[in-house]
Structure 1
Amino acid sequence: MGKLLPLLLVLLGLGGGVGAGWALRPAPGAEADEASCGPPPEAEAHAAAPDAPSEVEYVKLNNQFVVPVMEGGDIRSLVILSLSIEAEAGQAQAIYAREPKLRDTFLRVLFDHANTGGFDGSFTESGMLEHLRRALKDAARDIIGAPAQDVLILDIIRQKA
């Protein structure tokens, strides 16, 4: 029963997220209204950047990352993350070829983040996650090189153990 509860909570959270996404999707005519307004100023500034590559692709890593949060030698909670790498177009195969090394390096970064209290309290505040995002991006660049532009946190959940 103790092992069934965390699984049930994860499934409930995923179901709630899917339901909320479906309920909050834009109306069919909303895209046409947004298109007529033109791109937001941030998009124009990003497009005008001279060193930005013209095309990127997002490479989703195959499995989630499970990080235990320890307290006094006991597992207090688990943090489950899904990550994706923003890279120059055409780099997906090179990234998948290096995925075992990437996963190992990312787990080291995630464990260090957990051990320094990064997943305590309100860990989803943007300031709290910015340090983690930067460390993951640096780790990706160490393994893949310049084609790795960013690491995106697609899903994150913390559940009590």
Structure 2
Amino acid sequence: MDIREIPLTTIDGDQTSLAAYADRVVMIVNVASKCGLTPQYEKLEALQREYGDRGFTVLGFPCNQFAGQEPGSSDDIKEFCSMTYGVTFPLMEKVKVNGRHRHPLYAELTAVADVAGRAGRVKWNFEKFVVSPDGRVQRFRPATQPDDPAVIAAVETGLAQLRTPDLETT
């Protein structure tokens, strides 16, 4: 299945899919407000600000499956992200990323192996999946910081795939 066709719901309840981001490099991250890794929001937002104008988007997927570290409502999550980290990137509705009731997007993403060749369950909050415009997915485990050189390389490689419009000469 093409992951771009999987229905998604924004944190505000609007329907969308990754097809809406087909002309962008997308970083999909399962996020949580009460996790030791929560400060990664700062670096995720920095990436959004640095690369957003070039065709990059972070998509945050709140998840409460890891030690109950995302217990809030959609409004609580939006307020926390905005007030604490100034998050401007899109957030989706709270999802499950593991188990029999996991979101269909994560059913596809967890089949992707990380750099060590391991696929399978999401290990914890802030696992990252970089999706290039050609549909290639690269996986980075939670401890890998958003500004890690390997993550930046994946983003840059994806951005290089985007077409630059032909410039008209006068």
- Tell me the TM-score normalised to structure 1 length: 0.30
Judging by fraction of residues, say which structure has more helix: 1
Judging by fraction of residues, say which structure has more strand: 1
Give the greater-gyration-radius structure (CA): 1
